[in-house]
Chains A and B, each alone.
Chain A
């Protein structure tokens, strides 16, 4: 497949590994921000192919994982009401709330449907005028424009029975929170290429200047990731701290201006609690007052219930790069994709799921014997 195969090329991978080995003189800790990048690293075993001086830690870039538990409870509560069709992306349905997940709600009779686009949910609302269709929107700046487009179209077409629970979040405040933490050990970042495809790269410059860390905007294929690591290692070795763009085939400096305009038109930036982390200032997108009628939380008068995580779930440490999933005492034992304690074991972008599906525990113990 063109535009895929050349970024999975074994010879290119070997050449990049050589380049990193030659350049590196001391240990460096680098965080890949996006869960999609984590999955590529674990799936292809890139972390094991890299020289041991490079410690890759996995970041909070899994929007499903950081969606606060009370928001999932709220979606479940809404889904259980008669007359409501709750739509979301497939991953969101298996994330545990405090007592159940959306699949459980569906099995108990709620009308919960998987959609592949918020516009599909809007189309469903047009087809089912007697029902209330609620889209549970999750994702970083990458997917937020599609939600914005659905809300924009709903207003333009005067669709009265469509609304959105917005769990959209922003990447830069999460990087800022990690760098501000006293126990931070991350020295360089591979930023999420698709987020920057929308937002451009300028919002990372203040972080680079304030914290003196390199940030390399990086793609998602094996060659992308190793190139990102090579660029990050080169900056660290040379004592530079700059924003660089490895993913230039997709990311332009200013991002996608049409999408950014749409985001500004529909959303407002708000504080939000990130599951496993903390309440991060200016870290999320909520529908603005002009779109209040399409905000399910306001439309249905929902109030956030109090909820807490299972105490044995250490997702917060995993999301901050402090704990590798297989080291967690619950990993693969009381926490599996069938019976997850926390979201990172469920989501297609979750770090725990990446390790579990790649059978890292099994292989590790086999090598140890």
Chain B
């Protein structure tokens, strides 16, 4: 060992100095759980705080005359770049649209910046950009601004994409965490965890065969159907990294609500359950890229569910829980045997680089 000055310490030193824990970024800071929340509250908000950012919504809401403009930004570092059901290009388009969609917005346009590593095959880049185009066409949106940067070999892992999205919300939409009430229902638009498992299965070192395909899809059409169907929708989130458990925690915190989730009501495909069983993961924390979680008025839940199920991306929509009370923000899980336990933010990262 080169640190010879370490030897000058008394060898019997038996009270090790406290670990200077987490003074550098670790992968867990990107996991969407507790460490990410710490980073936001301790680094980003103190420096950048303003009334719009402080709401910590998926999209910023800006008033422009009588119009409500939505603006969002996102970065994509998924590994591997291709997985069953999509690739980093289609994922970037869908992820950006979905941040606008869960705020009730229809996308007007997307920007994309490409950070490329020296040596990355142009054929591969072309194919990913074409996949972006196809995803954008399918969602009837365009990539209207772009940028390219290249870094030296070894300074990035092939390709990273960052995006922004701009959208327009209908007037008088009335979504807001402050509208959540005791007795409201919590809905999810389909089976959870497909994306996370599809990416894990494609990852080097974890060769297991599965038929699970990523659920990556643009949700603004589903949201339109829900809004058209009537019924009081309070707020929505898309359960990407950190999964349903994490977004329900975010919703509980934003709304100051105690939410009870029924474990047996959360839809999980058999293939996802099996993969999670083998990998020691909890499907409630595994990422989706084409699902949304909505809190709606309890009396309107069936009506909203019916509207969701009429849309192809909402066929598997279910009620998974309810708001028990306002004023005690936390999430509880009722297990199959009726025992109740807390469903908390995950410490660290369950699956790094999933989106």
Chain A residues with CB under 8 Å of chain B are 1, 4, 8, 10, 13-14, 43-46, 48-49, 77, 80-81, 94, 96, 98-101, 103-104, 106-108, 115-116, 120, 222, 306-308, 310-311, 336-339, 348, 357-360, 362-363
Are the CB atoms of B344 and A104 closer together than 8 Å? Answer: no
B16 within 8 A of A: yes
Does A338 contact B347, Cβ atoms closer than 8 Å?
yes
Q: Which of B15, B18, B277, B337 contacts A10 (CB 8 A)?
A: B337
Cross-chain contact A306 with B11 (CB below 8 angstroms)? yes
Contacts of A104 in B (CB 8 A): 19, 21, 24, 26
Interchain CA distance A64-B16 in the complex, whole Å: 20
Instruction: Tell me if A116 and B21 are in contact (CB < 8 A).
Output: no
> Complex: how many Å from CA A86 to CA B38?
29
Residue numbers in A under 8 Å from B335 (CB-CB): 43-45
**21 A-B pairs in the complex with CB atoms less than 8 angstroms apart:** A13-B337, A43-B335, A44-B337, A45-B335, A45-B337, A45-B339, A48-B339, A49-B337, A81-B1, A99-B17, A103-B27, A103-B28, A107-B26, A116-B205, A307-B16, A308-B14, A308-B16, A339-B22, A348-B280, A362-B342, A363-B341
A80 to chain B: closest residue by CB = B1
Name B348's contact: one of A106, A307, A338 (CB within 8 Å): A338
Query: In the complex the two chains form, is B19's CB within 8 Å of A338's CB?
Result: no
Q: Given the complex of chains A and B, what is the CA–CA distance between A102 and B13 in angstroms?
A: 22
How far, in Å, is B176 (CB) from chain A's closest CB? 27
Which one of A4, A14, A43, A357 lies within 8 Å of B277 (CB-CB)? A4
Minimal beta-carbon separation of A223 from chain B (angstroms): 11
Q: In this complex, which of B14, B19, B27 has the most chain A Cβ atoms within 10 angstroms of its Cβ?
A: B19
Contact between A1 and B273 (Cβ–Cβ < 8 Å)? yes
B interface bracket (residues with beta carbon within 8 Å of A): 35 or more
Which A-chain residue is minimally distant from B208 (CB atoms)? A116
**A99-B16, A338-B347 are known contacts. Are A362 and B330 too (CB-CB below 8 A)?**
yes
B173 within 8 A of A: no
Nearest CB in chain B to that of A81: its residue? B1
- 4 A-B pairs besides A106-B26, A108-B24, A338-B347 with CB distance below 8 A are A14-B337, A99-B17, A337-B348, A363-B341
A120 to B205, Cβ gap below 8 A?
yes
Residues of B within 8 A of A49 (CB): 337, 339
Which residues of B, 168-226, contact A by the 8 Å Cβ criterion? 205-206
| Chain A positions within 8 Å of B11 at CB level | 306
- Any A CB within 8 A of the CB of B152: no
Contact call B16/A98, Cβ cutoff below 8 A? yes
Residues of A contacting B24 in the complex (Cβ-Cβ under 8 angstroms): 104, 107-108
Inside 8 A of A306's CB, which chain B residues have their CB?
11-14
Shortest B342–chain A CB gap in Å is: 2
Given contacts A306-B11, A307-B16, A339-B21, contact A1 B347 (CB under 8 A): no
Report yes or no: A359 in contact with B343, Cβ–Cβ below 8 A. Answer: yes
Instruction: Give a binary string over B320-355; 1 marks a CB under 8 Å from any A CB, 0 the rest.
Output: 000000000010100111011111100110000000
Assess whether B22 is in contact with A338, with CB atoms less than 8 Å apart.
Answer: yes
Q: Which of B11, B28, B330, B348 has the most CB of A within 10 A?
A: B348
What's the nearest-Cβ distance from chain B to residue A363, in Å? 6
Q: In the assembled complex, which residues on chain A have CB atoms less than 8 Å from the CB atom of B343?
A: 359
Across the two chains, which residue of chain B brings its CB closest to A367? B340
In the bound complex, how far is the Cα of B347 from the Cα of A336, in angstroms?
A: 9
Interface residues of B (CB under 8 A from A): 1, 11-19, 21-22, 24-28, 34-35, 38, 205-206, 270, 273-274, 277, 280, 330, 332, 335-337, 339-344, 347-348
Measured CA separation A357–B33 after assembly (Å): 13
Which residues of the other chain, A, contact B17 by a CB distance below 8 angstroms? 99
Query: Which residue on chain B has the smallest CB distance to residue A345?
Result: B347
Are A222 and B16 closer than 8 Å at their CB atoms? no
Cα separation A308 to B332 with both chains bound (whole Å)? 38
A116 to B1, CA, bound (A): 29
When the two chains form their complex, are residues A1 and B341 in contact, meaning their CB atoms are under 8 A apart? Answer: no
* A115 with B34, Cβ < 8 A, contacts A10-B336, A44-B335, A107-B24 known: no
Bound Cα distance from A337 to B21, whole angstroms = 12
Say whether B347 contacts A337, CB under 8 Å: yes
Separation of A106 and B344 alpha carbons in the complex (Å)? 27
Q: A337-B347, A338-B348, A363-B342 are in contact. Are A1 and B270 (CB under 8 A)?
A: yes
- Beyond A1-B270, A8-B336, whether A338 also contacts B35 by CB under 8 A is yes
Q: How far is the CA of A89 from the CA of B12 in the complex (A)?
A: 31
Nearest Cβ distance between residue B270 and chain A, in whole angstroms? 6
| Contact partner, A359, options B34, B280, B342, Cβ 8 Å | B342
What's the Cα separation between A98 and B19 when bound, in Å? 8
**In whole Å, how far is A296's beta carbon from the nearest beta carbon of chain B?**
15
- The chain B residue with its CB closest to the CB of A96 is B19
Interface centre among A8, A45, A48, A108, by most chain B C-beta atoms within 10 angstroms, is A45
Report whether A44 and B25 are in contact in the complex, using a CB–CB cutoff of 8 Å. Answer: no
Residues of chain A with a CB closer than 8 A to B340's CB = 45, 363
Q: What is the chain B residue whose CB lies nearest that of A47? A: B339
CB contact between A1 and one of B1, B25, B28, B274 (< 8 Å): that residue: B274
Q: In the complex, A314 Cα to B205 Cα: how many Å? A: 36
In-complex Cβ contact of B19 among A43, A100, A360 (8 A):
A100
A363 to B340 alpha-carbon distance, docked (Å): 8
A1 to B347, CA, bound (A): 28
A residues within 8 A CB of B34?
A: 338
Nearest-neighbor residue (CB-CB) of A94 within chain B? B348
How far does the alpha carbon of A320 sit from the alpha carbon of B38 in the complex, in Å? 34
B205 touches A359 (CB 8 A): no
Complex interface: chain A residues within 8 A of B206 (CB)? 116
Residues of B within 8 A of A10 (CB): 336-337
Q: Which 5 A-B pairs have the closest CB atoms?
A: A359-B342, A45-B339, A337-B347, A98-B16, A358-B341
A358: nearest chain-B partner, CB-CB: B341
- Give the distance in Å from the alpha carbon of A46 to the alpha carbon of B339 in the complex: 8
Q: A203 vs B245: C-alpha distance in the bound complex, in angstroms?
A: 43
